[in-house]
Every structure is written in C-alpha cells, then in structure tokens.
Amino acid sequence: MPTFTAPDGTELAYHLCGEGDPLIVLPGGAMRASAYLGDLGGLTAHRRLVLLDLRGTGDSAIPVDPATYRCDRQVDDVEALRAHLGLDRVDLLAHSAGGNLATLYAARYPQQVSRLALITATPWAVGLPVTVEDRLTAARLREGESWFADAYPAFEAAWTGRGPFDDAMMPFFYGRWDATARAHTAAEEQQTNDDAAAVYGSAGAYDPPATRAALAELSAPVLVYAGELDTGPTPDLARRAAGLFPDARFVVQPGGGHFPWLDDPKGFAERVTAFLSGR
C-alpha cells in the first residue's frame, strides 16, 4: 500500500488498481474510506485508479489537528498526491461529498486539472444545497417499490429532523435495493469516520462566490453525472451545477441512484470512459 506525506506531516494512503493512465479518485461519505468505491463498475479495465483514503479514513493516518478534516483544508492533500505521483496534470474523479473537494481543487489549481468527473456530487461548494423538499419529492417517485412503505417514513423523519439516520432509509440511495446494495450499506459504518464527517463541511469550508468566480475561468472539460433516482443531488440540481462550468457535459444515468456504478456497471464505465477519452 503506497503512502505519501501531506503538507502538515500526516501520512496518507492510496490504493492502485486497474490498467491505463492514472485517474485520481476522491471518495465521498463524507469521509468514507475509498474501499466503498470498489472498481467503479469496471472502470479499472480502462484506467489505473488512484483511490485516495482521505485523512483519518481507511489506511490514512489520523491528523494531529482535527480541524484539518475540513474540506478546504484537504485541498493541498490532493495537490501533494499529484506531486507525489509526478504528474503535471491530472484527470480527477470524485463522488458525492468528495465532489466538493474536487471542485475546490479545480478552483485553486486549475492548471493542474486535465479533466474533472463529478459523480452524483453534492454541490455545497458552489452554494447549491439539496433542500429537504427536493429530497422528499425525489423519494416519492419510488412509491411503487415494494420497500417504499417501510422506508419512506424513516427517510422523511431523518431529513426533517424528527428521527435518526438509519438503515431503514437506505433503499432510496440505490437504483436497485438488492443484495449488492445491502452489502454496500452494511459496510458503511466501519468505513466512515463520523467525527471527521462532522468537520468536513463545517463553517468556513466553502466560499461559493469565490469558487464560482474561479470555476468560470476553468478550461478543463467537466463531466457532471447524475442518477435519475438520486435524492441528492437530484438531476435538476446537478444540471444547475453543470451550468457553472464553461465546458461541461451533463449526463443522467437512467435508473441510477447515488451509487450509479452499482446500478449499471457497464453503462457507467462506458459513459465515464467516453468522457475521459474525449469522445
């Protein structure tokens, strides 16, 4: 397992898998170990994935200062990884909350980004939060599912603050609530640093006006990838985020949830590979 040293001295780990040109991958969660990404639907057949374990997750060390879990404080970790790999420019893929880290990286280091793929990325960094009503409206589209009657009350209670976040609501995050999705959910607790997640998007992490201004000058092509059934970001919110980039491609995966590579591995890998190869 390779490691490198972050600017503050924290030892960070990354995992390599697949063949081809390197693709740096930033996990979401927030602050979930990169193991949950798997091979991203077989993307390893086309690219060599460099899966970063963010500080305090997976095989990376816990930092001395917990304040460095904040999203903007981790941007230079990504830059240190680029330098460690000896790459002049990077193709960068990020999922969910990790999309904010990738967005801030592109805003701070635009000349180091060749292509940027944002996969069901929650666009907090650009001032586009997912509203409760957005989530509930999207969730109600699933009322024909066999699990809906049990899952919706838990989902509604969690997002309106009347109940905890628990596994009862998890079917809404997947296009198919099958054995693969259940196993993926079961692994989350052990893979996530909850203390770090609480700091990740805390006060001061984001400056949307400044980030939007910087992104307006970004020359790199950007893929904004949404799942048709995702409750956050919904396809409409993802479309609005795509409009902030000068050179953006917007894709909605039919039947896709928040983890679209699990719902349609082949289609996901084909769409992302097409973007990364310039097709």
Whether the pTM exceeds 0.95: the reply is: yes
Query: Which DSSP state fits 199?
Result: H
pLDDT at 125 over 90: yes
- Segment 184-210, tens digit of pLDDT: 999 999 999 999 999 999 999 999 999
Q: What is the mean pLDDT of residues 221-234?
A: 98
pLDDT of residue 259: 98
The 11-17 sheet, strands edge to edge: 3-5, 11-17, 48-52, 22-26, 90-95, 113-119, 222-227, 248-253
pLDDT of residue 47: 97
Contact 171, 177 (CB under 8 A): yes
pLDDT at 65 over 80: yes
Query: Which DSSP state fits 133?
Result: H
Nearest by Cα to 11 from 67, 48, 49, 64: 64
pLDDT of residue 279: 75
pLDDT > 70 in the chain, percent: 100
Q: Apex CA 254: angle with CA 104 and CA 124, to 5°?
A: 20
Q: What is the mean pLDDT of residues 167-181?
A: 96
pLDDT of residue 166: 87
Nearest by Cα to 26 from 97, 129, 90: 97
pLDDT of residue 126: 98
Read off the pLDDT band of 85 (50, 70, 90). Answer: very high
User: Tokens at residue 112, please?
Assistant: 């180091």
d(CA 257, CA 277): 24
- Segment 5-48, tens digit of pLDDT: 999 999 999 999 999 999 999 999 999 999 999 999 999 999 99
Read off the pLDDT band of 131 (50, 70, 90). Answer: very high
| DSSP SS3 for 222 | strand
d(CA 265, CA 152): 27
Mean pLDDT computed over every residue of the chain = 97
Nearest by Cα to 174 from 151, 154, 190, 158: 151
pLDDT at 276 over 90: yes
Q: What is the mean pLDDT of residues 108-122?
A: 98
pLDDT of residue 117: 98
